[in-house]
């Protein structure tokens, strides 16, 4: 007759795949754990949420509170970054049960003589276990009980100090501990809240056709910083391959002077740990990191684990690549497409251990130089277990490293990369245009299990993605999409040129015409159609509104016109609610009656209230749930509203 659990602890949340993966959180978060906890019969239960920083020996405990339908909740504060462990412990609380019974007998007009004897004997045995002061306190309580009218006993037993002493020293009958121990991975604030600006360093020059340098990048810092961004993401800065180099618009044969795709990494001057000499020196790069920091910008680096045919690995470690039957190295293929300028690495090579360790060395090399944010190119084409291993091991040395997954792939693979350790992930946002698409997708991202691990990074555009809505909708579409990106997630970004509404595509594709991937650009950011003011405003609102800094909190509300989407966000600590209304149609003025979540605003059903548009400063007087909005593309494409108290 083995001793099984006396108490059921089930449906624990967060809990990913039976504890195989960690939940995610941000330092300073109040972490909330829920569970169903119950046992047979009518005895009362008490439960503790236990937690510790991984590696610590001792657990901290905090009492959990019982809610409806046997559901319990406990919280604790995540005070440092790193991996935390938590579990739940529950027991039959004989003292609480006996107290409740005494109350019930009294209400039923029954004698409690025998039950008093039982509870006094419990108190006596506890008083033997605690310190002198507490023991004296219990003794006083026993005297009170003996002297008092039975009707007054419940109040005596209901003393908070008495309960605390009892909780600490009582025999935890039927003690049951949830297994397995669960984990939450706590990262620094930027992993959960940041605004990104992406550039090709070589396009930051001042002379047409000449490669810009890190020093040129420094000149751009005031401009980028003035819009309120706090991460500056650089496309790869390494030497670019020469063999099979691609020309303008990705043509197979480059012309002399074509700079090649920076993702075709490596040539005779070096590989993943080297710097393209056209951009400058390592010293220049370190200087850029430092200068950026002064402007509140942190550098994010691109990690693309693939090689040009000229990469040093090709000769030093040919075994790290795939080979054809004739012994030649295989370029990248996704039948029927061929990428002649790229050799993929064979992560399952017989020299797997050497290869993996070398790639870890590359990341640690840059981390040591001061780069702590890595945007990982196409992680879904490399083994899942590789990422789990390398992220875990890099974080062991630098626990402030942030990884962004650029995995435009099937949803389950995308989520898996997040579960196994990526801090944040690109999403399908660029292709979600209609009301129902946005509602469905962001509801999924705001629901369990996704919300407990997946942090959506919303780029409005990337060097690979100029979505049809921007190609066709022009400036009003750029405005509308930037409002959505900046308010649907605490993580958003733009790829340089977005703010001047660059939107010429290779016809029938999502590729930019004359893509910066294959040539050096020279931009006039003061172009009259720029939407810099709007972007600056959006970043400023994001900085001031806590609700926009939390993930997984997007809630959609009714709108009677599907051109107008309406959603709100509230931070988990119950702070101010921010409401966002966007006209999704860049071509037409639309109006709608929207249903305001007045409960979450704390407004009565017929009470008038004022809402302030944070974009314009305008004040509207609304009343009740249903209110009217009218939004004009290119002028006032959206409201970002907050109750005026």
Longest CA span, the chain: 102
| Sole residue written with tokens 């790869």 | 236
| DSSP state for residue 69 in the 8-state scheme | G
Nearer to its own copies, 61 or 381 (CB): 381
Nearer to its own copies, 197 or 356 (CB): 356
Closest CA to 592 of 623, 626, 625: 626
Nearer to its own copies, 105 or 556 (CB): 105
Is 377 one of the catalytic residues? yes
Closest CA to 541 of 223, 195, 296, 232: 195
- CB of 468: closest distance to its own copies in angstroms? 24
Which listed residue (85, 198, 302, 377) is catalytic? 377
Nearer to its own copies, 69 or 524 (CB): 69
- In contact, 391 and 360? CB cutoff 8 Å: no
Length of the chain: 645
- CB of 383: closest distance to its own copies in angstroms? 5
Query: Helix or strand or coil: residue 621?
Result: strand
Provide the 10 A C-beta neighbour count for residue 620: 15
Burial code of 475-505, b = ≥16 C-beta within 10 A, e = fewer?
bbbbbbbbbbbbbbbbbbbbbbbbbbbbbeb
List contacts with its own copies (CB under 8 A): 1-6, 8, 10, 17-19, 36, 38-42, 69-70, 100-101, 104-105, 107-110, 114, 117-118, 121, 174, 324-326, 333-338, 348, 352-353, 356-357, 379-385, 388-389, 410-413, 416
- CB of 392: closest distance to its own copies in angstroms? 10
Q: What are phi and psi of 146, to 5 degrees?
A: -65, -35
- CB of 19: closest distance to its own copies in angstroms? 8
Is 113 one of the catalytic residues? no
Nearer to its own copies, 274 or 384 (CB): 384
Nearer to its own copies, 388 or 532 (CB): 388
- CB of 158: closest distance to its own copies in angstroms? 17
Burial tier of 585 (Cβ tally within 10 Å: 0-12, 13-18, 19+): buried
Nearer to its own copies, 291 or 381 (CB): 381
- CB of 541: closest distance to its own copies in angstroms? 36
Helix (DSSP H) and strand (DSSP E) numbers for the chain: 15, 30
Write out the DSSP string of 333-375: EETTEEETT-EEB-TTSTTHHHHHHHHHHHHHHHHHHT--EEE
| CA–CA gap between residue 403 and residue 457 (Å, rounded) | 11
SS (H, E, C) 257-326: CCCCCCCCECECCECCCCCCCCCCCHHHHHHHHHHHHHCCCEEEEEECCEECCCCHHHHHCHHHECECCC
Closest CA to 269 of 311, 325, 314: 311
Provide the 10 A C-beta neighbour count for residue 51: 25
| DSSP state for residue 190 in the 8-state scheme | G
Kind plus residue range of the DSSP H or E element containing 8: strand 8-13
Nearer to its own copies, 24 or 569 (CB): 24
Provide the 10 A C-beta neighbour count for residue 22: 22
Q: What is the torsional sign of CA 603, 606, 609, 614?
A: positive
Nearer to its own copies, 415 or 498 (CB): 415
- CB of 461: closest distance to its own copies in angstroms? 26
- CB of 177: closest distance to its own copies in angstroms? 14
Provide the 10 A C-beta neighbour count for residue 472: 12
Which listed residue (115, 218, 406, 499) is catalytic? 406
Q: Which tokens belong to 564? A: 């107008």
Question: Which residues belong to the active site?
Answer: 377, 406
């Amino acid at each position: 007759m083995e001793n099984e659990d006396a108490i059921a602890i089930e449906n624990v949340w967060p809990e990913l795949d039976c504890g195989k993966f960690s939940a995610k959180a941000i330092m300073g978060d109040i972490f909330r754990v829920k569970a169903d906890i119950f046992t047979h019969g009518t005895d009362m239960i008490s439960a503790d949420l236990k937690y510790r920083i991984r590696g610590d020996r001792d657990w901290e405990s905090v009492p959990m509170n019982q809610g409806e339908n046997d559901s319990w909740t406990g919280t604790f504060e995540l005070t440092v970054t790193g991996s935390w462990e938590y579990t739940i412990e529950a027991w039959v609380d004989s003292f609480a049960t006996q107290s409740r019974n005494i109350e019930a007998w009294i209400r039923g007009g029954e004698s409690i003589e025998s039950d008093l004897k039982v509870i006094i004997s419990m108190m006596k045995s506890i008083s033997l276990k605690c310190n002198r002061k507490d023991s004296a306190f219990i003794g006083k309580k026993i005297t009170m009980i003996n002297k008092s009218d039975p009707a007054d006993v419940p109040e005596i037993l209901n003393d908070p100090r008495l309960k605390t002493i009892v909780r600490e020293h009582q025999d935890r009958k039927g003690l049951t501990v949830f297994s397995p121990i669960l984990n939450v991975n706590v990262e620094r604030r930027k992993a959960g809240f940041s605004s990104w600006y992406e550039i090709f360093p070589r396009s930051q020059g001042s002379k047409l056709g000449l490669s810009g340098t890190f020093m040129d990048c420094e000149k751009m810092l005031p401009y980028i910083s003035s819009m309120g961004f706090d991460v500056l993401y650089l496309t790869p800065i390494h030497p670019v391959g020469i063999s099979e180099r691609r020309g303008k618009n990705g043509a197979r044969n480059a012309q002399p002077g074509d700079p090649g795709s920076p993702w075709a990494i490596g040539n005779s001057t070096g590989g993943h740990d080297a710097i393209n000499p056209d951009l400058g020196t390592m010293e220049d790069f370190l200087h850029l990191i430092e200068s950026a920091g002064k402007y509140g910008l942190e550098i994010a680096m691109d990690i693309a684990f693939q090689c040009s045919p000229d990469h040093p690995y090709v000769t030093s470690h040919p075994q790290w690549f795939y080979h054809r039957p004739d012994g030649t190295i295989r370029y990248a293929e996704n039948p029927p497409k061929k990428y002649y300028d790229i050799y993929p690495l064979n992560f399952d090579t017989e020299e797997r251990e050497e290869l993996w360790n070398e790639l870890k060395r590359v990341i640690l090399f840059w981390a040591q130089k001061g780069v702590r944010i890595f945007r990982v190119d196409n992680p879904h084409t490399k083994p899942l277990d590789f990422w789990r291993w390398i992220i875990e091991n890099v974080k062991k040395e630098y626990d402030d490293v942030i990884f962004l997954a650029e995995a435009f792939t099937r949803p389950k693979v995308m989520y898996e990369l997040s579960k196994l350790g990526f801090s944040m992930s690109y999403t399908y946002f660029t292709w979600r245009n209609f009301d129902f698409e946005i509602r469905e997708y962001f509801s999924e991202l705001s629901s369990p299990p996704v919300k407990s691990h997946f942090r959506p990074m919303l780029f409005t555009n990337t060097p690979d993605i100029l979505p049809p809505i921007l190609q066709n909708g022009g400036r009003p579409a750029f405005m509308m999409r930037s409002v959505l990106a900046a308010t649907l997630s605490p993580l958003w970004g733009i790829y340089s040129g977005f703010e001047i509404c660059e939107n010429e595509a290779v016809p029938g594709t999502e590729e930019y015409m004359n893509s910066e991937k294959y040539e050096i650009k020279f931009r006039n950011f003061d172009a009259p159609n720029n939407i810099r003011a709007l972007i600056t405003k959006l970043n400023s609102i994001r900085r001031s509104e806590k609700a926009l800094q939390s993930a997984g909190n997007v809630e959609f509300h009714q709108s009677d016109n599907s051109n107008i989407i309406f959603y709100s966000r509230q931070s988990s600590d119950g702070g101010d609610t921010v409401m966002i209304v966007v006209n999704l149609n860049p071509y037409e003025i639309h109006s709608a009656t929207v249903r305001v979540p007045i409960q979450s605003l704390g407004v009565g059903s017929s009470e008038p209230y004022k809402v302030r548009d944070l974009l314009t400063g305008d004040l509207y007087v609304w009343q009740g749930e249903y209110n009217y909005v009218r939004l004009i593309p290119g002028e006032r494409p959206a409201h970002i509203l907050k109750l005026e108290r």
